[in-house]
Amino acid sequence: MGSLDDHISAGAIARSDDDFELQTDALEEVLSGQLPCWVCGYELSGLSVTGVCPECGTPVRTTLLAVVDPSAASYAPLRMPRIASAGLVLWTGAALLAILTIWLCRLTDALQVWFAVPSKLGFLGALVPVFAALSGLGGLVLIHPQKGDSLKQTLGPILASALYVPLVWMLWYTHAKIDLTAGIPYFTNALREADRVELRCAIGIVSMLIALLVRPSVRAFAKRSVLMRTGQLTRQTLLAVVAALAIALAGDMIHVATIRVEPLQHVVTSTISLLLVAAGSALVTVGFAGMFWDAIRLYPIIRNGPRSLGDVVQLDEPDA
């Protein structure tokens, strides 16, 4: 498996002829402004376009092709780039914290049932809706983030933000009320099991709707990264997250059926349901971790804006 430098050099140089050219008559052009090396972070300003990083030996051309966006001038300006970049990190990071908190709750349940370890972390369930609410707050940056967005482009994120209200309530009722009063789910015959599973189904459906409604806005942010847009760096797609949510939802729906329909109450159906919920939940966790990492990588691009070739290369002015 090649290094990141090799990966970018092979892919990015292949597109250089179409996107922008470092012509042979511009070989003496030097870098201006701030341009840290793509690999080690060494400041490359003042070096020749055809030089190499003094610290790690990475060609300057590799950093240029990784950082410079030939389409930078075509993007509509963001209304509040600093808030937008921070909001994306909050949106994905808080959602990931909510998911990890749920996993921690189930882990403490397992330790309590299997090893009789007393749990003193019952309050964790109450943090799940708090993190979800923070995620919804961060998601507000997806509403009309750039100038020129039409009403149609804005409507989806608005509806998604509104859906956070019932989502937060359902998460609170499930994890801060039912789980604290009705017994340990999954590991014991907890009271109000049907109510809890039906709420999980509703949570899954609402989460899928939110993901689909904000997808166009998220894609618009991702396109501001030249490496994500051209496939040089992969990113976590919301459709994959929706698919993972659908797997968990299928498991919950089977669980509801086994509770409501007596002939379906069998160890096989219960096992299938549990496996689907576990697999779907694990994939959702991986998906949101990927989205959080994407938000971290997009943060400087959204905050500072994409960089054109003219931003980093100083052209020699003709002699007077």
What is the block-wise mean pLDDT of the chain (320 residues), using blocks of 10 residues? 45 45 44 72 81 87 69 66 94 98 91 80 90 98 82 89 98 91 73 86 98 93 72 79 97 91 84 95 96 91 69 52
Count of CB atoms within 10 A of residue 267's CB? 7
| This prediction's pTM | 0.77
What is the structure's pLDDT at 263?
Answer: 81
Rounded to whole angstroms, how far apart are CA atoms 70 and 53?
A: 22
Q: Which residue shows structure tokens 């209200």?
A: 165
Judging by beta carbons within 10 Å of its beta carbon (0-12, 13-18, 19+), is residue 211 exposed, middle or buried?
A: buried
DSSP 36: B
Q: Are 204 and 281 in contact (CB under 8 A)?
A: no
Q: Are 310 and 89 in contact (CB under 8 A)?
A: no
Q: Indicate the domain borders of the chain.
A: 4-73+307-314, 79-304
Cα separation of the two ends of the chain: 52
Tokens representing residue 203 in the block: 């949570």
Judging by beta carbons within 10 Å of its beta carbon (0-12, 13-18, 19+), is residue 44 exposed, middle or buried?
A: buried
Q: Are 191 and 197 in contact (CB under 8 A)?
A: no
Tokens representing residue 144 in the block: 């009309």
Rounded to whole angstroms, how far apart are CA atoms 180 and 272?
A: 26
Judging by beta carbons within 10 Å of its beta carbon (0-12, 13-18, 19+), is residue 150 exposed, middle or buried?
A: exposed
